């Protein structure tokens, strides 16, 4: 898709909300890659009811995009048409029970793991090294070191595109490697997760081990989007990328990480187009060298910028 005139969202026709709308928001600062054009609007709902009313009342023509910590997203330079939803504090609660915990979708994984440590609950340690929120983790079935969200999930609370809140069982979530089968327009509100009990010093030890492994193997202090491609059945994506000679390859300000070659990094002045072109180049080189097609794990969102094209007006009522 090519970028269209991004000023066509009619704010006067958006539903009245108790939360806030911000107009024409540059998305780059919201994302781990620090790239991306503007969203027509960012909506921060006050609470579940506010989000529900917004979804119920908004025109069907207004596209909606939900983001978490944007640690697995590449927002294109032409920006995101319509309304981007970013959940805030009231969607980030925790409720520990005897052997489970309900966690709000907006809570960062690292904080969930830290709160579990404080309360003496085990089982969430693997989340500590995955940047991102519980909501993003539910959508992506995030995982590390042999554990995935689906291994600890009991059920998830979602809201559909017309504002109805539902509870989905683990089976209904249809989770598999880095994806779930829930309709794309559903927004996760919370997850209920199994937990065990352990002494905090044991939990802390596992958290420390995870942190040390991360620092050693991943460019976690850089502007990146995590694993760029899914591991094809029977292969490791990074090995295929290495074998195709792509480690350290760059386009503009985008580079294949020297530390972990399934990570792309913004070395400072990359555009989203640089990063997407680099990903496409890696895909092509791996295809040429091995015949294997790498599938993007990173979600590519929004419109390609082409300032030379005066594309047709798109209006959202
Ligand atoms: C340095 C680094 C290391 C990483 N390591 C790992 C790893 O080890 N394992 C791993 O699995 N991932 C890893 N990732 C990728 C990323 O952290 C995970 O995919 C994470 O779960 C994404 O969460 P997020 O909140 O950032 O989601 P976003 O990136 O914001 O969004 C990802 C997808 O989830 C959707 N989404 C977000 N919130 C919601 C919601 N509330 N309801 C419905 N849909 C939603 C978005 O629309 C989008 O489709 C890494 C990323 C980085 C930058």
pLDDT, tens digit (0-9, with 9 covering 90-100), for 227-271? 999 999 999 999 999 999 999 999 999 999 999 999 999 999 999
Distance between Cα 133 and ligand 1 center (Å): 7
Cα–Cα distance between 34 and 267 in angstroms, integer?
A: 10
| Per-residue pLDDT, 313 | 39
For residue range 272-294, what is the model confidence (pLDDT) as tens digits? 999 999 999 999 999 999 999 99
This model's pTM is above 0.85: yes
| Per-residue pLDDT, 316 | 55
Question: Which class does domain 220-301 fall in?
Answer: alpha beta
Does the annotation mark 217 as catalytic? Answer: no
Distance between Cα 18 and ligand 1 center (Å): 27
Does the annotation mark 317 as catalytic? Answer: no
CATH architecture for the domain at 90-202: 2-Layer Sandwich (3.30)
CATH architecture for the domain at 11-89: 2-Layer Sandwich (3.30)
Q: Measured in Å, how far apart are the chain's first and last C-alpha atoms? A: 20
**Average pLDDT score over the chain:** 93
For residue range 39-65, what is the model confidence (pLDDT) as tens digits? 999 999 999 999 999 999 999 999 999
Which atom from ligand 1 is nearest to the alpha carbon of 67? 30
Location of each CATH 3.30.465.10 domain in the chain: 90-202
Does the annotation mark 223 as catalytic? Answer: no
| Per-residue pLDDT, 12 | 84
Cα–Cα distance between 312 and 198 in angstroms, integer?
A: 60
Location of each CATH 3.30.43.10 domain in the chain: 11-89
Distance between Cα 104 and ligand 1 center (Å): 15
């Amino acid at each position: 898709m090519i970028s269209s005139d991004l000023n066509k969202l009619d704010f006067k026709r958006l539903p009245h909300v108790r939360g806030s709308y911000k107009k024409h928001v540059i998305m780059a600062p919201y994302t781990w890659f620090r790239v991306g054009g503007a969203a027509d609007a960012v909506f921060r709902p006050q609470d579940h009811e506010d989000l529900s009313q917004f979804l119920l009342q908004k025109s069907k023509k207004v596209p909606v995009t939900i983001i978490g910590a944007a640690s697995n997203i590449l927002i294109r330079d032409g920006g995101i048409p319509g309304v981007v939803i970013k959940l805030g504090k009231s969607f980030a609660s925790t409720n520990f029970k005897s052997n489970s915990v309900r966690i709000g979708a907006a809570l960062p994984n690292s904080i969930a793991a830290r709160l579990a440590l404080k309360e003496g609950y085990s089982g969430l340690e693997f989340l500590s090294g995955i940047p991102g929120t519980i909501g993003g983790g539910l959508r992506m079935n995030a995982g590390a070191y042999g554990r995935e969200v689906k291994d600890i999930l009991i059920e998830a609370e979602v809201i559909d595109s017309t504002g109805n809140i539902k509870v989905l069982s683990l089976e209904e979530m249809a989770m598999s490697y880095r994806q779930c089968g829930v309709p794309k327009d559903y927004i996760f509100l919370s997850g209920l997760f199994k937990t065990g009990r352990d002494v905090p010093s044991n939990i802390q030890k596992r958290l420390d081990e995870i942190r040390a492994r991360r620092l050693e193997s991943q460019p976690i202090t850089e502007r990146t989007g995590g694993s760029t491609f899914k591991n094809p059945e029977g292969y490791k994506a990074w090995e295929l990328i290495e074998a195709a000679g792509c480690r350290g390859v760059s386009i503009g300000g985008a580079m294949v990480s020297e530390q972990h070659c399934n990570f792309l990094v913004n070395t400072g002045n990359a555009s989203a187009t640089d990063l997407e072109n680099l990903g496409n180049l890696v895909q092509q080189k791996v295809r040429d060298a091995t015949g294997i097609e790498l599938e993007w794990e990173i979600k590519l969102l929004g419109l390609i910028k082409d300032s030379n094209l005066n594309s047709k007006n798109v209006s959202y009522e």
